[in-house]
Chain A
Amino acid sequence: MALSKGEKLELEELTKYFGNFCAVDHLTLEVNPGEFLSLLGPSGCGKTTTLNMIAGLLEPTYGRILIGGRDVTYLPPIERKVGLVFQSYAVFPHMTVYENLAFGLKIRKMPKAEIDKKVKEVASLLQLEDVLNVKGGKLSLDQTQRTALGRAMVIEPTFFLLDEPLSNLDPALRAVMRVKLKQLQKELAQTVVYVTHDQLEAMSMADRIAVMNAGKLQQVGTPEEVYNNPANKFVANFIGSPTMNFIDCTLTEKDAHILLDAEDFTIDVTRFGEVLKKEACGPEVILGIRPEHVQISMERVKNAIEGKVALVEQLGTETIITCRIGRKEIKALMLGTYKVSIGDRLYLTLNMDRLHIIDKKTEKVIV
């Protein structure tokens, strides 16, 4: 399969209004050749609109789209050669798999023999040879998915757009397909823009993740960056499961120590003094810490916060323990099975290296 190595995709200030509603707001993003970029966000965040604009199904209100340096903002889809795979797969139900795969080439008036050769190539790559004569409406879910992928591949697109292609599969198959898709992308060295609302999918497959919310780009970075150094509260909350703990606090200064006062407990954050000053954030902040960065012990430890077990969720691989401290609740994640029962007293230590302080007004992560 002579797939060209993927090309670079650039979005400049891309904006789309539907009436007064701004679906995509000045989105600027670069996708490098051969890169797997995941566009991540909750439903309604503008990711599908963005995708439709890139594919040429919608015209942007403002901004430019460049593929390999060429401005395609207002070109019809046929001149863009984008390989799009829909969430519903959109395999033509009335055509056989062969006709589905051949469709893009037939549109381009390619000679029959050549079409045949290419279709067979793609079919063998995706193990579709056995179902070539089966109608699109009669395929199993994963065959449908491969057909959709093949139909996009056969026109040798400049890059791939995948719109939540795994969301219809059951969890077990999803895990397998994740691995397969990623391997395929690595082998063929294609540029892929992968749209999803599932942070796990984005984390596990993407080279870089672009997090979107309410039409705006929140953060772009590698999975590790996005996970460990979220730019704002939205990203911190959206990525990671179980979700990060957020606790409203006030910053106070006492005896040259800077303290985070959460009413029911305080934490010394003097070590972040400089950053906090530089960012000039107000006294109203939110303390954020991931459940896996909360340590639990049954005995009193120095600097630990005392709490009571409110809920235990045994998940086999890990255990989630919800602790109550006064009126606040903090979730802690322990590996393996952890035997505690509701009402037990325990002591929490927060990993200070993994602590986040978020400005309550701007919701930006300061530390």
Chain B
Amino acid sequence: MATVKICDLTKKFGNKIAVDHLSFKVSDGEFFCILGPPGAGKTTILRMIAGLEKPDEGEIYIDDQLVNNILPADRDVAMTFQSLALYPNWTVYENIAFPLRIRKYPKDEIDKKVKEVASLLKITHLLDRTPVLASGGEKQRIAVARALVRSPKVLLLDEPLSNIDALLRLEMRGELKRLQTELKQTIIYATPDQLEAMSMADRIAVMNAGKLQQLDVPDVIYNKPANKFVAEYVGTPTMNFIDCTLTEKDGHIFLDAREFTLDVTKFDEALKESYGREVILGIRPEHVQISMERVKNAIEGKVALVEPLGRMTVAHILISDIHMQVICPANFKVEYGSKVWVKFDTDYLHIFDKKTGKSIL
């Protein structure tokens, strides 16, 4: 068990900056998620912590020891690869035993540890087979078992669930989280899937284009996104965004979206600085109410598409040329093209600066 500290880490590939002056600290026993789209630099960060890639700038500390110049073999860090990288010519048992064997553990201890970790991950029945014939989920477990068997200081997981089918992913998600809670293992987990990050992580670092966007607990990431990128990336269906200008009239403050205006006087304090500026209004689909009759303060729109998803229905509404998604109850029935009225729950409004994308509210 260990802590990981990263200071001002930078990595370039040619002219491309993969990781840009990144700093964070992972505490002992934490489930730490690095979330971001492909190319955000997630894998590069993991590879630098593992020692497979040399940083151009910055320091990496494991348990307060600088490890920049230590060979991967001596860092006591385990990693699972996206491709899993199981040794195809050996049995599952030999795969899992390998890290111990190379460290010259006594035979009976190896045997004990392998069987322990195999039963923990429910792959005891596979031990004598080669991993080639195992299913996607099983391979995943084997890879995790191989990483866990020597109880490394830090476990790095690189998109471990991206290659298994949706049903299994759901199951593995729960299992991994449970395992981590049980073992109190420090885990750094890279994923492009916001649902995975939200459901498993103690803290999430949202990355984009090598830069850290926000680092916080899932709840805050979801409810108080630091900028438009985070707001858009986290949550499905995605947040609705509407271009607006902030205007003042008769002591009231309005968001003017041309098709409609919204009174936001109650956020006076926070918005003071931004009067007259171009902003983006953001609201999550679950914070928009929809009704078939005209309601006070509601905005008129047209139904463009209805997606019944079983437990809920997502309605696509066009307010002139503004496209919005709204979550409705499962039994909500509405015809293509019919008129509806939507109302925003102003307690959950987000306002972003159009130029910088930073959250104002």
Contacts and interface: CB of A to CB of B under 8 A. Distances in A.
Interface of A: 42-43, 170-172, 175, 178-179, 182-183, 186, 197-198, 200, 203-205, 223-224, 227, 237-243, 290, 292, 310-311, 313-317, 320, 322, 333, 335-337, 342
23 contacts: A171-B193, A179-B307, A197-B165, A203-B307, A203-B310, A204-B308, A204-B309, A205-B307, A223-B310, A227-B310, A237-B167, A238-B167, A241-B170, A310-B178, A313-B174, A313-B177, A313-B198, A316-B218, A316-B234, A317-B284, A337-B219, A337-B223, A342-B181
B117 to A, nearest CB: 21
Nearest to A222: B308
B139 interface: no
Nearest to A205: B307
A242 to B, nearest CB: 6
A185 B294 CA distance: 31
B174 A311 contact: yes
Contacts of A322: 174
A203 B198 contact: no
Nearest to A201: B307
Nearest to B234: A316
Given A314-B218, A317-B327, A42 B165 contact: yes
Interface stretch (B43-51, B86-94, B235-243, B264-272): B235-243
Contacts of A183: 304-305
B313 to A, nearest CB: 9
Interface extent on B, as a size class? 35 or more
B61 interface: no
Contact of B235 (A237, A310, A316): A316
Contacts of B181: 342
Given A311-B178, A316-B234, A317-B286, A203 B173 contact: no
A170 B232 CA distance: 14
A121 B291 CA distance: 39
Contacts of B304: 179, 183
Most buried by A among B181, B195, B305, B311: B311
Contact of A172 (B200, B222, B238, B311): B238
A197 B166 CA distance: 10
Interface in B298-335: 304-305, 307-311, 314, 316, 327
Contact of A315 (B199, B308, B327): B199
B24 interface: no
Contact of B305 (A182, A203, A240, A313): A182
A254 B236 CA distance: 47
3 nearest interchain CB pairs? Answer: A313-B199, A204-B307, A316-B222
A238 B170 CA distance: 13
A224 B308 contact: yes
B236 A171 contact: yes
B105 interface: no
Given A186-B336, A241-B166, A290 B235 contact: no
A25 B234 CA distance: 43
Given A224-B308, A241-B170, A290-B311, A316 B198 contact: yes
Interface string B168-190: 00100110011001000000000
Nearest to B305: A179
Contacts of B235: 316-317
A224 B173 CA distance: 28
Contacts of A172: 238
A316 B233 CA distance: 12
A320 B166 contact: no
Contacts of B170: 241-243
Nearest to A204: B307
Nearest to A293: B311
A352 B218 CA distance: 34
Given A317-B236, A317-B284, 8 more contacts: A42-B165, A170-B38, A186-B336, A204-B307, A223-B308, A240-B311, A292-B311, A315-B195
A288 to B, nearest CB: 14
A242 B172 CA distance: 12
Interface in B201-232: 218-219, 222-223
Contacts of A224: 308
A203 B199 contact: no
B161 to A, nearest CB: 13
A203 B308 contact: yes
Contacts of A314: 198-199, 218-219, 222
B194 to A, nearest CB: 8
